[in-house]
Amino acid sequence: MSNKSEKKYRKIKKSHIWNSIVEFILFSIVSAFVVEYGLYLFGSYIIDTKIAAEYEKIHYMSKLYERSLAEEDENIFFLLLDEGRDFLITDQNGNIVRSNGVDTRGAESGSVHLPGQDAPVLVYRDGKRGFIHPAKGRLTLDYPAFFRWMSSDEDLEEKETEDIADRNIRLINLPVWISIDLGQEGAFVGKAVFSTDKRDVTMFTTLVISLIALLGIILCTILFAGIRNFVRQKRMVSLFFTDVVTDGHNHTWLLVKGERMLRKKCSAKNRFALINLQFVNYSTFCICHSVKDGEKVLCTIYRQINGLLKRDEMVAHLGSGEFGIILKYMDDASLRTRLGGLIGELEALDTAHKFYFRAGVVMIDRLTDKNGNPVQRKEIDLDTAGNNAVAARLSLGSGEESGIAFFDDKMVKEQQWIDQVQERQQTALEKEEFVVYYQPKYDPKTDTLRGAEALIRWNYPNLGLISPGRFIPIFERNGFITEIDHYMIRHVAADQKTWLDQGKNCVPVSVNVSRAHFIESDLAEQIRDMVDEIGTPHEYIEIELTESAFFDDKKAMLHTISKLKEYGFAVSMDDFGSGYSSLNSLKDLPLDVLKLDAEFFRGENAGRRGEIVVAEAIRLGKKLNMRIVAEGVEVRDQVDFLADEGCDMIQGFIFAKPMPKDDFEKRMGAPAPQPAVPEA
């Protein structure tokens, strides 16, 4: 999965528990190896030490035998018998020539290294009690066989070969046969006995058991820690997926579990829809009551939705008043009906309050092969689908009534266009793909050119000229509009400077400055420096602000306007009358120009009532020493009316549409053209 939530979930899920499991397994293996190898070394050391002492005695006996042969003294041989040790003498062919006791040698033999001996010693395993045997150059005790023998009643009398009355110690004798080479005389083979008492064996056994118990305790501790980490990890996963407000599932859970559910093979046959559901008046409810009461309502909404879900359907609280829902559906109509019913139930949750809900829907249809059979979904991105669902919901507008909107191809194309614009905007600025158009402003009494407004067009490669309505709102949202403001001011100033140098009859040109620009306290200085760098007189540049900008920070606005006027720039208010105009704006701000919005001349009340409002607005502006511009004028009767009322300039299709720089240049000094639009 590509989203970050899945990666974080996997990181939390695999942490701790797997470390503990690996530690437990590794420690178990190492512990078993250490115990086994330690016992092997310890036992070998004890056996080697005692058998080495036995070797010295047998070696002494072999020397006595050699002496008896050299001196042909039979009495010396009898001394060997007095030793009370079983032995035998073989010739060079291995045949026994003399012996004392029973030959219990086994078939297994090998050379071993004993402490204090430079050369290896040949050792035979005892055929009856062969718990000690040669292996890999050392004497080794067969622990499993030895402990089985010790715990059985078998051969009991041989286990207790000696009793010491005052200590009552039971000796255990483990034999092994040592062969000493006598050269041409053959070999002297003596029975060496590893002797220990049962108490020593018990102590050794206790030590081994204690060591194993200690290791067991350590292993149990590690295992317990692993289990504890496993439980802790489960709790972490639960917290990772839990919404703190509703105590239900959160956005991350919906993304992770939702994508996994949609990828399942059994889900391939079903259609799903991702819904972004907004409790529209949540913020208002919290303001009127409290955040705590608002959260209680969210809990109720979550439980209500959750209670209406079917198998493989999900709901999660996304934050604030939003919920994410995954529903199965058969067709668009049934889904719309079900959503409408769901919203209806939610609206009726509280009879004392009227709740409204809006839903944005993204369809996740089945995937099929060429035969029309459903195939498993492998690539699902619920994060993107969620954003699309939000976009669909936002398309319902800013009202408070309930509604449902489905994300469609038009929205996809719109989003693609937004992405395309944002990817291209910087390159377009650098390559000067933005083109300045000018719309003239004429004196309605004399039909002479009195000014112009600079408007922007985008000469987009392969698409041609694009109107500002398709990209300016995008720039306003992403903040790039400030770069456009700078671009327009520089280009207009440069055009004005060129025309002045050519002796043209220049008129002031207004340039729109975005409201986003007014958060910068040095805006006036920026404009001054840009114009001065080009060398254009300030009176030829008019800064135009929209009426909505005056409702932001009025103090900052007043400061900027005062500075602009101080530097010699005229300042105008654009679109006056497009919204709910504030007369306080006219009272508080020292504006030079007031532009009447085209809406004054349209609509049902554009007759006598409209004329009264326009006339009074013109008189008010005049009394405040402001020049009046009427924009959007389309018929001659409107021109005559505005001229009679004292309007200073008219900007509209009646005289000219926005035009390229070269066409506008031709308008300078020329009479106004005949009306382009028939009279009303």
Condensed to tens digits (0 to 9), the pLDDT of residues 354-390 reads: 899 999 999 998 888 888 888 988 888 888 899 899 9
pLDDT over threshold 90, residue 555 = no
Asked whether residue 3 carries a pLDDT value surpassing 60, the answer given is no
Residue 568 tokens read as 């010699």
The phi, psi pair for 522, rounded to 5°, reads -105, 25
Query: What is the pLDDT confidence band of residue 167, given thresholds at 50, 70 and 90?
Result: very low
**Of 542, 407, 426, which Cα lies nearest the Cα of 483?**
426
H or E stretch at 256: helix 251-263
Mean pLDDT in residue range 524-545? 95
Q: Return the sign of the alpha-carbon dihedral for residues 216, 222, 225, 231.
A: negative
Q: Judge whether residue 678 has pLDDT over 90.
A: no
Query: Which of 59-68, 328-337, 432-441, 592-601 shows the lowest per-residue confidence on average (mean pLDDT)?
Result: 592-601
**Least confident residue range of 11-20, 214-223, 569-578, 592-601:** 11-20
The span from the CA of 510 to the CA of 541, in Å, is 6
Residue 606 has pLDDT above 90, yes or no: no
Mean of the pLDDT values across residues 284-299?
A: 92
Q: What is the mean pLDDT of residues 586-590?
A: 80
Tell me if residue 64 falls in helix, strand or coil: helix
Q: What gap in Å lies between CA 427 and CA 424, rounded to an integer?
A: 5
Mean pLDDT of 328-353: 91
pLDDT (average), residues 138-164: 66
Determine the Cα–Cα distance for residues 326 and 58; give it in Å rounded to an integer: 90
Share the mean pLDDT of the chain. Answer: 85
Rounded to whole angstroms, the Cα distance separating 259 from 250 reads 14
* Closest residue by Cα to residue 276 from 400, 162, 180, 360: 360
For domain 439-452+490-667, the CATH class is: alpha beta
Residue 250 near residue 242, CB atoms below 8 Å: yes
Determine contact, residues 588/559, Cβ cutoff 8 Å.
no
Q: How far apart are the first and last CA of the chain?
A: 64
pLDDT given for residue 14 in this prediction: 58
Digit-coded pLDDT (tens) for 414-423: 888 998 999 9
> Taking the domains of the chain in order of start, what are their residue ranges?
17-211, 251-407, 439-452+490-667
Task: Note the Cα 37 to chain centre separation in Å.
Answer: 48
pLDDT at 639 over 70: yes
| CB contact set of 209 (below 8 Å; sequence gap of 6+) | none
Confidence of residue 550 (pLDDT cuts 50, 70, 90): low
The yes-or-no verdict on residue 219 having pLDDT over 60 is yes
Annotation: CATH topology of 251-407? Alpha-Beta Plaits (3.30.70)
User: Residue 121: what pLDDT?
Assistant: 92
Residue type, 291: V
pLDDT band at 156 (very low <50, low <70, confident <90, very high): very low
**How far, in Å, CA of 363 to CA of 406, rounded?**
8
Other Cβ atoms within 10 Å of 77 Cβ, number: 16
Judge contact between 26 and 223, C-beta under 8 A. Answer: no
Q: What is the pLDDT of residues 45-97, one digit of tens each?
A: 888 888 889 899 999 998 888 888 888 877 877 888 877 889 999 998 889 98
pLDDT at 275: 95
74: exposed, middle or buried (C-beta count within 10 Å: 0-12, 13-18, 19+)? exposed
